[in-house]
Amino acid sequence: MSARSEKADGVPEQSGAPALALRRIGKAFGQVKALARVDLAAYPGEIHFIVGDNGAGKSTTLKILSGIYQADEGEVLIHQQPVHMRDASEAHRHGIAVVHQDLALVECLDVATNMALGAIPRRGRFMLDRARMERDAAEVLANLKIRVGSVRTQIGLLSGGERQIVAIARAVRMNLPIILLDEPTAALGVRETAHVGDILDELRRQGKTVICISHDLEFVFAHADRITVMRLGNSVATLMRRNTTRDEVVGMITGTIEALDPERAGAA
């Protein structure tokens, strides 16, 4: 029997184990305490947003989840098993795909090649399978209803919004169970932001575990299942979106409202 069910409002109610979790995570850079205590649990088939003011520790948390940083304290768990990721390649082996805010695209390469970086299809040991690479890229873009012209178009010729969408499509192409996104709608227009939202909703339908940092609370409340609020290096509350309001979340971000009780929050 599936651990995931839905209430009448269409929001998943999760009773199974988290796919990815942090327990009592702490991280310092020299004398600067970036994270004091962060607890988080993200579930399959949910979109879990991390929100907070600048300097709250959101990006540091994402980098620990993605293996770029290692925590000084606490545990990272994948499917309830503690893991020690020494770099981003280990995160990938554990089933985690990441879309960073800087996108990490190569401007002089085309769309298809960028989408295949790290998993270039080959014929034999040395020959690049260009036809398969272009076919795979075109299929992923079509499934996500993404139009960026030809998959042979150089990334440097695309708009900022188109590059953002291609970076997300590259993560989707990996077909990994956990996807992390850092500010995927930053500097996007209304139409492109809506398209990113559609992609997130599709990933939910596919049963992926999606963790997303965003400062756009309108976008968060349009697509979140669960929201973790961070303040001054701490996770101060994890809330089910249906049980909270934008004003409450803003109050927790600024410290004018205390965290809600766990039963109402729906925290794991």
Taking only the tens place, the pLDDT of each residue in 132-168 is: 889 989 988 888 888 887 899 999 888 888 888 888 8
- Return the exposure string of 203-241: e unless at least 16 CB atoms fall within 10 Å of the residue's CB, then b: bbeeebbbbbbbebbebbeebbbbbbbbbebbbbbbbbb
Tell me: pLDDT of 109 over 80: yes
Helix (H, G, I), strand (E, B) or coil at 205: helix
**Residues 17-95+177-189+208-268, CATH architecture:** 3-Layer(aba) Sandwich (3.40)
Cβ neighbours around 157 below 10 Å, total: 13
pLDDT > 80? residue 13: no
Whether the pLDDT of residue 84 is over 50: the answer is yes
What is the number of alpha carbons within 13 Å of residue 126 lying toward its C-beta? 0
3-state DSSP assignment of residue 242: helix
pLDDT at 8 over 50: no
Q: Give pLDDT, residue 266.
A: 46
* CATH 3.40.50.300 placement within the chain: 17-95+177-189+208-268
Helix axes 190-205, 160-173, angle to 10 degrees: 10
Q: What is the CA radius of gyration of the chain?
A: 19
Q: What is the residue whose two structure tokens read 């729906």?
A: 266
52 or 130: which carries more pLDDT confidence?
A: 52
User: According to the model, what pLDDT value does residue 58 have?
Assistant: 96
Residue 247 clears pLDDT 90, i.e. is over it: yes
Crossing angle of the two packed helices 160-173 and 130-143, in degrees rounded to 10: 110
User: Average pLDDT of the chain?
Assistant: 87
Supply the pTM of this predicted model. 0.85
Question: Is residue 80 over pLDDT 50?
Answer: yes
Q: How far is CA 137 from the centre of its chain?
A: 21
| Amino acid at site 107 | E
| pLDDT for 9 beyond 60 | no
pLDDT classification of 42: cutoffs 50, 70, 90: very high
Asked whether the predicted pLDDT for residue 262 surpasses 70, the reply is no
